[in-house]
Amino acid sequence: MEENQKMNVVVLGISGAGKSTLIKSISGNEIVTGIGEGQTQRVDVYESSTWPIRCIDTKGFEYSLLEQWKTIRQVKKYSKKQFNDTGIDVVWYCIEGTSGRAFSHNIELMNKAIKNWKNIPVFAIITKSYSEKDIPKNIKAVEESFSKSKGINLKGIIPIIAEEYIINDETSVAPYGIEELCLKTIDCLDEAKVINKSNRDRMVLGQKRFTANTLVASASASAGIIGAVPIVNFSDSVLLTPLEIGMVKKIFKIYGVETSKDLIVSLVGSTMITNIAKSIVKLVPLAGTVANSVVATAIVYALGEAVILASEGVYKGTIDPTKIEEFTSFITNKVKDNVVIKATTSYFEKNMDKLKDKNPKEIFKEIMNSVQVKSK
């Protein structure tokens, strides 16, 4: 099997649950553990030469809240690194069959640790299943615990003994369950890879969106400063044009959108955007620079948001940037329908007599707060 077809399996569980023994039985690698407690303190990767599986060992969940947080943080940090690499395909969650403890809390910890990897296939592994008569009881307990946790794509509950368990000189329990676990894991390869790709695409887009949002926030703040210049009548001003062009180009670059000069000019020089600005400023003819500053901020913010949406469409293959008229129309319509533009218009309509001596930044903050409240 090709290297990129190997399944990346994150192995989770409380300390001492048998994660390291399980990984050793599959990979053949000796894994250092302490006596009576797990000692894994970092993420280590172990390749199997028998199975197309790559085991990712993690620090065990401890009973201390601080240690639990450290484990969750460790897995999240690793999973974020992985979204630019091969991703995570499957989770093996190890539960000690001899513990007799309730499992619900630890399953919630697992859920928090893998929250970035939505709908990822999960196998619950009941380790140290030495007593055959306890297996049905343990499976039922695990089923009940998982039923209390929503959104987990549980693919199976598999009791195993990862290595021979010696009871006395005459009696021992032979390993079992490893083949079933590996085969069932491989059986969900196609589904796991589709989910993995979906998760990575979502996280890549999320990172691009975060970077682009930061850029738009900075450009909007600069627009507010430009709009506050006394000689500027924002609705007719060309002083914002270089700022808008720079912002649009940078957003396109973040998403890898191929652009042309004609496309940039058609966007920034859009008559609709200018008309939107004029229609808002008309509401407050006496507010002067206060209105200009707020409108400048709102327009650049809305333009940035619209360009981000269009860029995401290009990234996903749902929008063709070479069709300039359609592309421009999409963006200008998104600006027109932007909730911040509507909230800005509404704010001025209701507060025309309260604008004197108000700070433009405070006004825009009020507008953004009103939008956030409505969206909840």
- Could you count the other beta carbons within 10 Å of the beta carbon of residue 186? 15
- Please state, in angstroms and rounded to a whole number, the distance separating the CA atoms of residues 137 and 256: 54
With residue 56 as reference, give the H or E element that holds it: strand 53-57
- Res 40 pLDDT > 50: no
Q: Give me the chain's average pLDDT, please.
A: 79
| pLDDT band (50, 70, 90) for residue 32 | very low
Q: Which domains, and CATH codes, for the chain? A: 3-187 (3.40.50.300), 204-375 (no CATH)
Please give the share of the chain, as a percent, with pLDDT higher than 90. Answer: 20
Contact 334, 361 (CB under 8 A): no
**pLDDT tens per residue across span 297-327:** 988 999 999 999 999 999 989 999 888 888 8
Q: How high is the pLDDT of residue 77?
A: 67
The mean pLDDT of 51-65, rounded to a whole number, is 76
Q: Does the pLDDT of residue 116 top 50, yes or no? A: yes
Residues 283-307, mean pLDDT to the nearest whole number = 79
Paired with 7 in beta bridges are 53
Q: What DSSP string describes 16-76?
A: TSSHHHHHHHHH-------SSS----S-EEEE-SSSSEEEEE-PPB-SSHHHHHHHHHHHH
Tens-digit pLDDT profile for residues 61-115 = 665 566 666 666 666 666 655 545 567 899 999 988 776 565 666 777 777 777 7
For the ranges 23-27, 37-41, 148-152, 193-197, the lowest mean pLDDT is seen at: 37-41
